[in-house]
């Protein structure tokens, strides 16, 4: 296997300890460089690197930073998203455990670029153990004067940075997937129920406590010091040019070596599954792969050849990079059961503010349970599709899409599996009837010629 650069999780024993981190150049070159630059130039460097967020939406990080109002007159906040609750995702946890200081350094750099003096790291409550690890790392960095008042003596920023210091607070969540959504996280941090907010206003204008706020993912932050060290241009040449860098791919499900693998963007999916994660147990074929956490459109096992793992290439094959949590399912998997479980999750996690999401997720689950019990009516396939399509785009936050995508893409790509679960003896629909069911404005689905299926 070829050697890849490991930027976020290098193979250095005990790197979580601040002394080891310092011995390996931490809080050093990158920070000195940053503090000798004007804040806007730091943002430009991140822009040049092409770094895109690792939290799910792959939004360009430098661009996001540039939306923040300049200067220090206004109180501004930096919120770091460590909620990591999307099923199939377990990569931010590795950063907490193995390289927390690089994430902290990234936060400090982001704070300087946007002239923010207050940052919060929000970590899901289930990660209690890892919350303690991050708290320890933050305390170590305070003790050495890399965070807090003593930054003023340790680093001597020129010009706009004079007398500059940052406070970082670790905040522990209490169990709610929806809090991973950026505006819900703001409500939660303010001590409320985590309800997503309407946008606009966008967080860069009106975020935490009504002040300008930027929110980034943990892994995104851990990439920033690397960029400042090697320069934006060098970073932009790693991996796929449209989404440069490395990604922590979390591989789970039916593979011999599940785990997190740091690889350049654009690595072939089959290379990750077969070579890095050790292939499928017992040499079985793959039936389905979800490439980016459970809300991303699933791919057919027979269509994985040539699929490259980065935002743009996955879009081309009708999926998305999401959190890069790759879930592999072998040929014996009951994907109706899998999909039912996924729908149960989104139904459970819907915050209930929007009717299409609150009611629709329940409907999806109810219909899927009919298929699970091989008790569906022929028209239920299209009804299910219809319900999913009617959630998409009609909600406050993207949990609506997260619930809808897996369902209707699975119908499009694995229709035969649904047909097999129609109640035995019932005739499958004719194409005309299917179209009669569908309301205007929907994309056409592939309708199969009617056959009688007996299970």
Partner 1 sequence: MAIFSNAELQEISELQKRYPEPAATLLPVLWRLQEKRGWIDDEAMEAAAAVCQVPKSHVQGVVSFYTMFFDKPMGRYHVQVCTNVSCMLRGGEELLATMKNKLGIQNLEHTPDGLFSIEEVECMGACGGAPMMAVNETFFEKISKEEANDVIDHVLAKDEIPKPKFVAQMPELTEAANR
Q: Which residues bind partner 1 (CB under 8 A)?
A: 9, 11, 13-14, 75, 84-90, 92-94, 97-98, 124-129, 167, 169, 171-177, 188-194, 209, 250-254, 257-261, 290, 294, 325, 327, 329, 333, 337-338, 341-342, 345, 348-349
Write out the H or E segment, with its range, that includes residue 335: helix 335-349
Alpha-carbon distances, residue 368 vs 112, 177, 438 (angstroms): 49, 22, 19
| Min CB(272)–partner 1 separation in Å | 13
Which one-letter DSSP state was computed for residue 17? S
| Min CB(403)–ligand SF4 separation in Å | 8
**Cβ neighbours of residue 247 closer than 8 Å, sequence gap 6 or more:** 54, 219, 239, 262, 263, 264, 265, 309, 310, 321, 324
When the beta carbons of 217 and 340 are compared against ligand FMN, the nearer one is 217
| Min CB(348)–ligand FMN separation in Å | 12
Piece in contact with ligand SF4 (CB under 6 A), picked from 158-166, 294-302, 336-344, 393-401: 393-401
Piece in contact with ligand SF4 (CB under 6 A), picked from 215-223, 235-243, 347-355, 380-388: 347-355
| Min CB(79)–ligand FMN separation in Å | 8
Ramachandran region, residue 49 (left: φ > 0; alpha: ψ -120 to 50; beta: rest):
alpha
Binding partner of residue 97 among partner 1, ligand FMN, ligand SF4, none, CB cut-off 5 to 8 Å per kind: partner 1
Binding partner of residue 167 among ligand FMN, ligand SF4, partner 1, none, CB cut-off 5 to 8 Å per kind: partner 1
Question: From CA 64, how far away is CA 212, in angstroms rounded?
Answer: 12
Question: From CA 254, how far away is CA 259, in angstroms rounded?
Answer: 12
Residue 399 within binding range of ligand FMN, rule CB under 6 A: yes
Neighbours of 118 (CB within 10 A): 17
When the beta carbons of 203 and 266 are compared against ligand FMN, the nearer one is 203
Cite the beta strand spans of 146-268 per DSSP E.
167-172, 213-217, 246-253, 259-264, 267-268
Residue 58 within binding range of ligand SF4, rule CB under 6 A: no
User: In what side-by-side order are the strands of the sheet with 259-264?
Assistant: 259-264, 246-253, 325-330, 286-290, 299-300
| Min CB(174)–ligand FMN separation in Å | 14
Hunting for tokens 């892994």 — which residue is that?
A: 219
Bridging pattern class, strands 259-264 and 246-253? antiparallel
| Min CB(85)–partner 1 separation in Å | 6
Judged by CB under 6 A, the chain residues 9 through 28 that form the site for ligand SF4 are none
**Residues forming the site for ligand FMN (CB under 6 A):** 53-57, 59, 64, 81, 83-86, 178, 180-182, 215-217, 220, 397-399, 402
């Amino acid at each position: 296997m070829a050697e890849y650069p490991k930027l976020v999780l290098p193979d250095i024993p005990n790197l979580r300890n601040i002394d080891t981190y310092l011995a390996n150049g931490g809080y050093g070159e990158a920070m000195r460089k940053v503090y000798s630059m004007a804040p806007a130039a730091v943002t430009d460097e991140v822009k040049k690197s092409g770094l895109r967020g690792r939290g799910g939406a792959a939004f360009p990080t430098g661009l996001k930073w540039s939306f923040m109002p300049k200067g220090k007159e206004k109180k501004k906040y930096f919120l770091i998203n460590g909620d990591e609750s999307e099923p199939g995702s377990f990569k931010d946890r590795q950063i907490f455990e193995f390289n927390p200081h690089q994430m902290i350094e990234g936060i400090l750099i982001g704070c300087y670029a946007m002239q923010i003096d207050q940052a919060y790291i929000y970590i899901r409550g289930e990660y209690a153990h890892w919350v303690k690890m991050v708290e320890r790392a933050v305390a170590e960095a305070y003790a050495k004067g890399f965070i807090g008042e003593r930054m003023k003596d340790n680093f001597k920023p020129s010009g706009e940075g004079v007398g500059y210091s940052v406070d970082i607070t670790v905040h522990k969540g209490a169990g709610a997937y929806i809090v991973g959504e950026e505006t819900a996280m703001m409500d939660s941090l303010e001590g409320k129920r985590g309800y997503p907010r309407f946008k606009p206003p966008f967080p860069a204008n009106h975020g935490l406590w009504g002040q300008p706020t930027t929110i980034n993912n943990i892994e995104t932050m851990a990439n920033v010091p690397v960029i400042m060290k090697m320069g934006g241009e060098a970073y932009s040449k790693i991996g796929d040019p449209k989404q440069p860098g490395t990604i922590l791919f979390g591989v789970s499900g039916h593979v011999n070596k599940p785990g997190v693998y740091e690889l350049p963007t654009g690595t072939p999916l089959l290379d990750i599954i077969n070579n890095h994660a050790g292939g499928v147990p017992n040499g079985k074929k793959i039936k389905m792969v979800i490439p980016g956490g459970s809300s991303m459109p699933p791919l057919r096992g027979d269509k994985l050849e040539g699929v490259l793992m980065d935002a743009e290439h996955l879009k081309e094959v009708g999926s998305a990079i999401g959190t890069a949590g790759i879930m592999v399912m072998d040929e014996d998997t009951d994907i109706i059961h899998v999909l039912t479980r996924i729908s149960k999750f989104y139904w459970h996690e819907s915050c209930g503010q929007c009717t299409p999401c609150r009611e629709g997720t329940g409907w999806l689950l109810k219909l899927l349970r009919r298929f699970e019990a091989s008790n569906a009516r022929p028209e239920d396939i299209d009804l299910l599709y219809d319900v999913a399509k009617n959630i998409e785009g009609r909600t406050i936050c993207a949990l609506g899409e997260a619930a809808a995508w897996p369902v209707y893409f699975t119908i499009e790509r694995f229709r035969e599996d649904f047909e097999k679960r129609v109640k035995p003896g019932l005739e499958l629909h004719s194409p005309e009837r299917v179209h009669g069911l569908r309301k205007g404005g929907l994309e056409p689905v592939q309708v199969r010629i009617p056959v009688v299926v007996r299970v």
